[in-house]
């Protein structure tokens, strides 16, 4: 018997050893991993592989985790008594060794290892930037096949750790959501499955490593948790891991309050939740808003928000709140963090810091326990001072590429790499 099974949040159906499982009865619900161990353990190996609540058995490559530490700099500036920072990026003097500078490495590592153990030979991955870099790097490290699909509009900010890392296709006339749709079509044509997005339990449990590391360091659950959200997968993952830690019994008696942030004007989840609505308004995901937003990696037009077990439910279950952050606030927050903590962070992490600044200012957080701030990416400036990184040179196609041309595109793209 496996050390985990997968359960439908809605009807309770349980599946064993299923890859990218879906419930045949409920299309509008997420599945969740159930681990046989009720008690959390962190003694199973190195890096992120030392945790027992992961949907993998025998990891074939090493993977560093986040670094969680008690802040003095930012905590002092904001007047927060107990502020823990989870830093996922490159900051060697702090022990943070993620060379792709993003927490998406945990997701990519878990998805690839889980796919390998389910006899998958490759995956098609859609990304707005960070996920692409993480998958490209880990596909190289693990020898796994991946084809990556990104929107062209994200290319100026994109970089890979390796030259010609993996076959990459850019969509010239669409955004992240169009990349997902095209990735699904390429998956059908290539015979390699689509990685599954937020529905892939391995993706969420990989991102949930942030809370496992924090629980291991803090020996308790945070009272408040801050993160920027795009698809919502990371926030859902933290809620799911918090439920497991609560059931363990040794980490406290209440779920962390989720404080989730988006970059205005593209903030569809924030705008929906301010109205306490489970539905995202079509006006709030219009294409024009994407261009006005500084953090493109957060501009997912179809996030896992209203789906059962998604962001709306996570906010309701934890008494959470959504924040909207203007571009100027993002830049100011990045600057403040760098001065206070001594390391550069990516704009998405700046969105989370800006939300924490708002919360401190408007007293959304009291003195009732530790705060955990998820810095989802950083240290790019440090990394670039030490080694070269590479621009992404993809094959460029329209989102309306005809079916019969997809095969030619794949041949051409594979040849380049």
Q: What residues line the site for Zn ion (CB under 5 A)?
A: 8, 10-11, 13, 23, 25-26
What is the C-alpha to C-alpha distance for residues 184 and 205, in angstroms, rounded to an integer?
A: 22
What is the C-alpha to C-alpha distance for residues 400 and 410, in angstroms, rounded to an integer?
A: 15
| Token duo for residue 368 | 């009732």
CB of residue 84 to Zn ion, shortest distance in Å: 36
What is the C-alpha to C-alpha distance for residues 276 and 116, in angstroms, rounded to an integer?
A: 40
The residues pairing with 395 across neighbouring beta strands, listed in sequence order, are 169
Closer CB to Zn ion, residue 204 or residue 271? 204
Closer CB to Zn ion, residue 28 or residue 400? 28
CB of residue 117 to Zn ion, shortest distance in Å: 24
What is the C-alpha to C-alpha distance for residues 311 and 273, in angstroms, rounded to an integer?
A: 10
Helix (H) or strand (E) holding 147, with range, is strand 145-151
Tokens 């900010």 found at: 157
CB of residue 312 to Zn ion, shortest distance in Å: 18
Closer CB to Zn ion, residue 32 or residue 375? 32
What letter would DSSP give residue 168? E
CB of residue 15 to Zn ion, shortest distance in Å: 10
Q: How far is CA 77 from CA 92, 194, 353, 365, in A?
A: 24, 44, 12, 15
What is the C-alpha to C-alpha distance for residues 32 and 237, in angstroms, rounded to an integer?
A: 10
Closer CB to Zn ion, residue 15 or residue 389? 15
Closer CB to Zn ion, residue 24 or residue 81? 24
CB of residue 23 to Zn ion, shortest distance in Å: 3
CB of residue 255 to Zn ion, shortest distance in Å: 23
What is the C-alpha to C-alpha distance for residues 52 and 2, in angstroms, rounded to an integer?
A: 12
Q: How far is CA 417 from CA 127, 384, 410, 412, in A?
A: 19, 23, 11, 9
CB of residue 155 to Zn ion, shortest distance in Å: 39
Closer CB to Zn ion, residue 64 or residue 198? 198
CB 155 within 8 A of CB 394: yes
Closer CB to Zn ion, residue 8 or residue 304? 8
**DSSP string computed for 336-367:** HHHHHHSS-B-HHHHHHHHHHHHHHHTT-S-S
CB of residue 240 to Zn ion, shortest distance in Å: 16
CB 208 within 8 A of CB 54: no
Tokens 């530490």 found at: 69
Closer CB to Zn ion, residue 22 or residue 61? 22
CB 16 within 8 A of CB 9: no
What is the C-alpha to C-alpha distance for residues 258 and 210, in angstroms, rounded to an integer?
A: 14
Closer CB to Zn ion, residue 9 or residue 244? 9
| Token duo for residue 356 | 């924490």
CB of residue 6 to Zn ion, shortest distance in Å: 11
Closer CB to Zn ion, residue 242 or residue 307? 307
CB of residue 242 to Zn ion, shortest distance in Å: 22
**DSSP string computed for 20-70:** T---SS-TTB-EEEEES--S----SSSGGGG-SSSS-SS--S-----EEEE
């Amino acid at each position: 018997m496996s050390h985990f099974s997968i359960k439908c949040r809605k009807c309770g159906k349980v599946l064993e050893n299923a890859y990218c499982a879906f419930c045949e009865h409920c299309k509008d619900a997420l599945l969740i991993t159930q681990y046989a161990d009720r008690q959390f353990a962190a003694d199973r190996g190195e890096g992120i592989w030392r945790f027992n609540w992961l949907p993998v058995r025998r990891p074939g490559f090493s993977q560093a985790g986040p670094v969680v530490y008690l802040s003095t700099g930012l905590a002092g500036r904001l007047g927060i008594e107990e502020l823990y920072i989870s830093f996922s990026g490159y900051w060697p003097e702090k022990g943070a060794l993620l060379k792709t500078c993003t927490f998406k490495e945990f997701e990519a590592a878990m998805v690839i290892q889980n796919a390998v153990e389910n006899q998958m030979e490759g995956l098609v991955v859609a990304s707005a930037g960070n996920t692409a870099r993480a998958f490209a790097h880990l596909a190289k490290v693990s020898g796994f096949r991946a084809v990556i699909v990104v929107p062209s509009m994200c290319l100026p900010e994109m970089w890979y750790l390796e030259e010609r890392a993996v076959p990459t296709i850019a969509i010239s006339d669409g955004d992240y959501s169009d990349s997902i749709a095209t990735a699904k079509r390429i998956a059908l044509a290539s015979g390699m499955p689509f990685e599954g997005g937020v529905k892939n339990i391995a993706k969420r449990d990989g991102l949930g490593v942030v809370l496992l590391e924090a629980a291991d360091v803090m020996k308790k659950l945070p009272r408040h948790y801050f993160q920027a959200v795009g698809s919502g997968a990371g926030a859902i993952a933290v809620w799911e891991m918090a439920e497991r830690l609560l059931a363990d019994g040794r980490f406290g008696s209440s779920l962390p309050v989720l404080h989730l942030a988006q970059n205005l004007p593209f903030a569809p989840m924030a705008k929906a939740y301010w109205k306490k609505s489970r539905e995202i308004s079509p006006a709030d995901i219009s294409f024009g808003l994407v261009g006005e937003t500084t953090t493109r990696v957060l501009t997912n037009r179809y996030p896992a928000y209203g789906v059962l077990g998604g962001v709306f439910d996570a906010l309701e279950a934890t008494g959470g709140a959504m924040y909207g952050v203007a571009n100027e606030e993002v830049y100011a927050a990045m600057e403040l963090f760098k001065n206070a903590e001594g390391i550069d962070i990516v704009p998405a992490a700046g969105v989370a810091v800006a939300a924490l600044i708002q919360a401190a200012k408007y007293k959304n957080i009291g003195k009732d326990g530790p705060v955990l701030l998820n810095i989802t990416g950083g240290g790019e400036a440090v990394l670039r001072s030490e080694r070269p990184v590479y621009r992404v040179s993809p094959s460029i196609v329209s989102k309306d590429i005809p079916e019969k041309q997809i095969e030619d595109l794949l041949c051409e793209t594979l040849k380049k790499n």
